[in-house]
Amino acid sequence: MFKLIEGEQVVMAAGPLSLTTHRVHSEHTSWGSQSVDELFLEHISYQALRMSSRPALLVIAGFSLLLAMYKVAAAATTPLDMSQNLDTYVAAASVFGAFLFVLWYALTRRQVFVVASSAGRIELAAREIPRETLDWLLMKVTEAKHYHRQPSPTPVGTAMPAPTYASPQVAAAPR
């Protein structure tokens, strides 16, 4: 756990990401390397939850299945010979290829949580954090940024009360 600044409180911690009343903190270890990133809330200029996928892979899988259906139909209508055997092999290879394209599509889908400032950015693969928590985190970072950017009604040097935060409520599934 990282050290807190005087007067700082942890608002939430989800996986390698922590939101405090002053900053966003991320610790990430992968393949023998480690990164620790921090952005102060008043410097955050961009935040997003980006999703990316490759739908063209599903289109290619669909064409592959169409080819398989065509070859199965061709094999059924031709007399039993070597071309029917070849059509069966092409159909089987097309179905296998379609399966590989769908698998490739599933493996390349990504969801990334991004928080950035002019000095740097934190990108986090969002598979590690539930979607409800990410939506809540986006809202809380926005609220914290807004809180830090408001002009202070209190004189300089006077402690300002910290904003209050409530954790996300996950509804129970109906039975």
Domain boundaries, the chain: 10-48+130-149, 55-108
The sheet carrying 44-52 orders its strands as 44-52, 110-117, 121-125
Look at residue 58 in the predicted model and tell me its pLDDT.
93
* Tens digit of each residue's pLDDT (9 = 90 or more) over 111-135: 888 888 887 888 877 776 777 877 8
CA of 11: how far to CAs of 8, 59, 127, 165, 166, in Å? 9, 43, 21, 7, 8
Q: How far apart are CA 166 and CA 140, in angstroms?
A: 9
Contact in structure between 44 and 145 (CB atoms under 8 Å): yes
Look at residue 172 in the predicted model and tell me its pLDDT.
46
CA of 103: how far to CAs of 56, 96, 123, in Å? 13, 11, 25
Spans of the chain, pLDDT less than 70: 1, 78-84, 128, 147-175
Q: Is 91 exposed, middle or buried (0-12, 13-18, 19+ CB in 10 A)?
A: buried
Instruction: Find how far residue 175's CA is from the centre of its chain.
Output: 29
In degrees and rounded to multiples of 5, residue 6 shows phi and psi of: -60, 125
